[in-house]
Amino acid sequence: MRVEITAAPLPETGVLVVPVGREGALSSVAQALDARSGGLLRRALLAGGGPPKHGQLVELLLPAGLPHERLLLLALGKPEGTRRLDLEEAGGALAARLLASRIGRVHLASTAGLDLPETPAATALALATGCRLRAWRFTKYQHERPDEPQGRIEELVLHLEEEAAGVASAAWPAEAARIAGVLEARELVSEPANVLYPESFAQACKRLERFGVAVEILDRERLEALGMRALLAVAQGSVRPPFVVVMRWRGAERPKPLALVGKGVCFDTGGISIKPAQGMEEMKFDMAGAAAVVGTLHALAARKAPADVVGVVGLVENMPSGTAQRPGDVVRALSGKTIEVVNTDAEGRLVLADCCWYTQERFRPEAMIDLATLTGACIVALGHERAGLFASDDALAERLLAAGEATGELLWRLPLGKAYEQHIRSEIADLKNVGRAREAGATAGAVFVQQFTNGVPWAHLDIAGTAWTSRDLPLCAKGATGFGVRLLDRFVAVHHEAGGPGG
Ligand code: BES
Ligand code: MN
Ligand code: ZN
């Protein structure tokens, strides 16, 4: 979808999207169109049994007295206050309608004259952002179906007053960078595991170099030399070798970087503790944490964020085979701690154990945040509405929760603590990789990972329930969500950018 920003007047043909306010309030543009059409807009807004609510659309085909093909009146403004996210979601609703009606080119009118908390420029950008996020779909392996042609939004033209157009044009590239980061993560998550496996994922990371990200790929030999035996134990069942990729975006000199760590299990069969066949195909998404890390670095680098952020992803495939690890095996992790692998399906924490230890030791980060599709138990606890947040540090937790609220990538904090550490005590090793059956499963995974953070302020996002959606969401069609990218981009912008509130 091309987004164009212009100070040119609205065209006298085609499809116009005209924002209207609460209770059918008309913007300056809407008033002019209403006058030209003898009150058509006002009548249309009341025809539905009361004015449309935020995000609702009233569609007028061949509006009498106007030369346009269609007018889409898009209602904006919530009684309880309209946040930027609400505007993005209205943009998402617009995209859904355009796709359903197979409208490929639209001109969006300015909101000047409406009583909204955001300026016309910011409003237009939020609408465009939501529109682009909602319009994305993963179609590369699908031919067009003649019986159900898919819509495609080719172009969205934002019409603004002269000065606002300048402001919006200056701000759009950063917005587009964030969107690109989200879509990058979605692409990676959507790719099947025969296409996206550790090596091809590592190559995809390499593409970040075009934005100035330093990318270092650690291959199996290197991982062996380092002693990442927990990660290697997961990988040993697969013919596809593992990789750890270390990425760094240094958009500013800061004393310490922020570190992001991602679980990149390109496919999780469960290993010898094999998963049931039913639904196993979904486990191609088990690298969504790593994809979110890549997407975030993409966004930060593409918008040249004045921040220092390291991303580390552990890329493996969890397969059953004659070389696979066995339940009961004991491995020595990079940190030196020994782990009894009671269940080979609890593999993500083994990967994160070595990646987190490596990251804190090498970079001494100010804070470390890992993202992982770690536990089914987190879905049991929170459904698909929120990701689980675990944090060793209250301030870090608060900041992440707030970034989640602002971006709609919602989190809910779940507990850590000494009592739960008992759950992962092993009879024969320092730790075992599972807790107690049906007890605090998401926390068991989190406290396990925590053992490898060495006291660095750390947070863990269990995104098992939010990385994929089986229903259309306001900002995301069914499929991979790219969850985490917007949240982390926001978190970095607010707390880790030079000149930001974080210093
Ligand atoms: N990748 C899964 C977690 C998962 C399960 C995500 C279902 C989404 C849906 C993870 O590797 C896993 O298998 N976890 C086990 C842990 C258990 C063996 C302690 C789980 O959640 O069942
Ligand atoms: Mn697993
Ligand atoms: Zn997994």
Q: pLDDT tens-digit profile of 26-54? A: 999 999 999 999 999 999 999 988 899 99
- Domain membership of residue 109 (yes or no) is yes
Whether 462 is in the pocket of ligand 1, judged by its Cβ within 6 Å, is: no
Which one of 104, 127, 160 terminates a domain?
160
Judge whether residue 252 has pLDDT over 80: yes
Q: Are residues 148 and 218 in the same domain?
A: no
Query: Does position 454 have pLDDT exceeding 90, yes or no?
Result: yes
Q: How confident is the model over 170-225, as pLDDT tens digits?
A: 999 999 999 999 999 999 999 999 999 999 999 999 999 999 999 999 999 999 99
**Residue 198 shares a structural domain with residue 136:** no
pLDDT at 145: 86
Cα(274) to ligand 3 centroid in Å equals 11
Same-domain status, 194 and 308? yes
Q: Is residue 330 part of a domain?
A: no
User: 53 and 118, same structural domain?
Assistant: yes
Distance (angstroms) between ligand 1 centre and the Cα of 178 equals 29
The CATH code of the domain that includes 309 is 3.40.630.10
In a domain, 412, yes or no: yes
32 and 137: one domain? yes
Residue 71 shares a structural domain with residue 195: no
CB burial of residue 369 (10 Å; 0-12, 13-18, 19+): buried
Question: Does 81 share its domain with 140?
Answer: yes
Are 110 and 188 found together in one domain? no
Residues 315-338: pLDDT tens digits? 999 999 999 999 999 999 999 999
pLDDT cut 70: percent of the chain above it: 99
Is 317 contained in some domain? yes
Which tokens belong to 102?
Answer: 């197979």
Site to substitute for ligand 1 among 280, 282, 341, 345, most atoms within 8 A of C-beta: 345
**251 and 117, same structural domain?**
no
Tell me the H-state helices in 265-393. 288-302, 348-363, 376-382
Mean pLDDT computed over 348-352: 99
Q: Are 448 and 353 in contact (CB under 8 A)?
A: yes
Question: SS3 string of 126-172?
Answer: HHHHHHHHHHCCCCCCCCCCCCCCCCCCCEEEEECCHHHHHHHHHHH
pLDDT at 502: 44
Q: Which CATH number characterizes residue 114's domain?
A: 3.40.220.10
Assess contact for 466 and 459: CB atoms under 8 A: no
Which protein residues have a CB closer than 5 Å to ligand 2 (ion)? 268, 345, 347
What whole-number distance in Å separates Cα of residue 133 and Cα of residue 3?
A: 12
Residues 212, 138, single domain; the answer is no
Domain enclosing residue 408, as ranges: 183-323+344-425+434-495
Calculate the alpha carbon distances from 487 to 136, 195, 304 in Å: 19, 27, 17
Percentage, residues of the chain above pLDDT 90: 97
How many structural domains are present in the chain?
2
Is any ligand 1 atom within 6 A of the Cβ of residue 377?
A: yes
pLDDT of 443 higher than 60: yes
Q: State yes or no: pLDDT of 501 exceeds 60.
A: no
Q: Give a yes or no: residue 339 inside a domain.
A: no
Mean pLDDT of the chain: 97
98, 125, 160 — which closes off a domain?
160
User: 319: CA distance to ligand 3 center in Å?
Assistant: 11
Residue 328: inside a domain = no
Token pair, residue 309, equals 């952020």
Name the residue at shortest CA distance from atom 3 of ligand 1.
Answer: 375
123 and 209 together in one domain = no
Please give the pLDDT value at position 500: 61
Contact 266, 238 (CB under 8 A): no
pLDDT, tens digit, 9 for 90 and up, residues 88-134: 999 999 999 999 999 999 999 999 999 999 999 999 999 999 999 99
The long-range contacts involving 37-41, CB below 8 angstroms and separated by at least 24 positions, are 37/63, 37/64, 37/65, 37/66, 38/64, 38/65, 40/64, 40/65, 40/66, 41/71, 41/73
In a domain, residue 156? The reply is: yes
Please tell me whether residues 356 and 405 are part of one structural domain: yes
Ligand 1 pocket, residue 348 CB under 6 Å: yes
The C-alpha atoms of residue 94 and residue 79 are separated, in whole angstroms, by 20
Strands 243-250 and 214-218: antiparallel
DSSP 263: E
Kindly state whether residue 462 falls inside one of the protein's structural domains: yes
Phi, psi (5° rounding) for residue 381? -75, -45
Query: Do residues 275 and 288 lie in contact, with contact meaning Cβ atoms separated by under 8 Å?
Result: no
